[in-house]
Amino acid sequence: MISTSTAALQLTVKLLLLPLWLLSFLGIWGPFSSLFFPYIMNCLAKEYSVKMIKRKRDLFFNLQDFPRHNAKLTVLEIGCGTGVNFQFYPKGSRVICVDRNRHFDKFLSENAKKYPHLQVEKVVSPAEDLNGVADGSVDAVVCTLVLCSVNNVQKVLNEVVRVLKPGGTFYFMEHVVADPSTWTYFFQQIIDPLWWYIADGCCLIRNTAKYLEESGFSDLKVRHMQAPLKLHLVRPHIVGYAVK
């Protein structure tokens, strides 16, 4: 539960955001945010990748070891954005890129040209309904900084389980809600309504680990960490993998 003072501050922020709420209600803010958010992320993703590259290498290190029996490794990346994770995929991989925002296409295409050894395919679709991907058809699913902004985390994870081959692996790295005893948690609660508008539907206070624990994976490894980022609001992270 949040305190009365925190609830009062949240209400104040929401009242100040009424103009944005009205623009969103009228269908104006959503398209505007979706158009400009990829340009913001193209800049921020580069800095994030530099800060987190060692942790990403550790996360994806065993992609090279997947038994492929001379077949291509098939990776499905949810919320691929600008394609910053391409550098971690093994040579010859087939990469199915899923993103709901078409405005990332320009940056994704530019990045894909740097990795001609990958077979990149783009699918415009919400993560909750991957109807273009067959059951049990991919070796690995990758999701980094995406579950914070989907509409229904449980539906996304259900789709991940569906499309993975038996023994396939889901790799994740997500910013999450902070420990309730911290000031970061307090400010996350206050800023979250504004953050949703400026970060294209991103949620600061999502307990993603809880959803993972309830998703029926045969094996789940989750590590909580503080990312070395300038913005304290998004420092709390979880990183790990889950096996179907």
Percent of the chain with pLDDT over 70: 96
What would the two tokens of residue 171 be? Answer: 């790799």
Using the predicted structure, report yes or no on whether residue 68 has a pLDDT greater than 70: no
Residue 94 lies in a domain: yes
pLDDT digits (tens, 9 = 90+) for 73-117: 999 999 998 899 999 999 999 999 999 888 888 889 998 999 999
Distance, in Å, from the CA atom of 194 to the CA atom of 191, rounded to the nearest integer, reads: 6
Residue 189 lies in a domain: yes
Residue 177 lies in a domain: yes
Residue 91 lies in a domain: yes
Residue 28 lies in a domain: no
Residue 181 lies in a domain: yes
Helix 18-25 × helix 29-60 angle, to 10°: 100
Residue 7 lies in a domain: no
pLDDT digits (tens, 9 = 90+) for 22-54: 878 888 877 767 777 777 787 787 788 889 999
| The predicted structure's pLDDT at residue 2 | 61
Residue 102 lies in a domain: yes
DSSP annotation string for 43-72:
HHHHHHHHHHHHHHHHHHGGGGG---TTSP
Using the predicted structure, report yes or no on whether residue 153 has a pLDDT greater than 90: yes
The number of distinct structural domains making up the chain is 1
Q: What is the pTM of this model?
A: 0.89
| The predicted structure's pLDDT at residue 84 | 92
List the domain range (segments joined by +) for residue 219: 38-65+72-243
Q: Are 156 and 127 in contact (CB under 8 A)?
A: yes
Using alpha carbons only, give the angle 166, 237, 150 rounded to the nearest 5 degrees.
65
CATH code, 185: 3.40.50.150
In Å, what is the CA distance from 238 to each residue of 30, 137, 144, 152, 178? 28, 26, 10, 18, 11
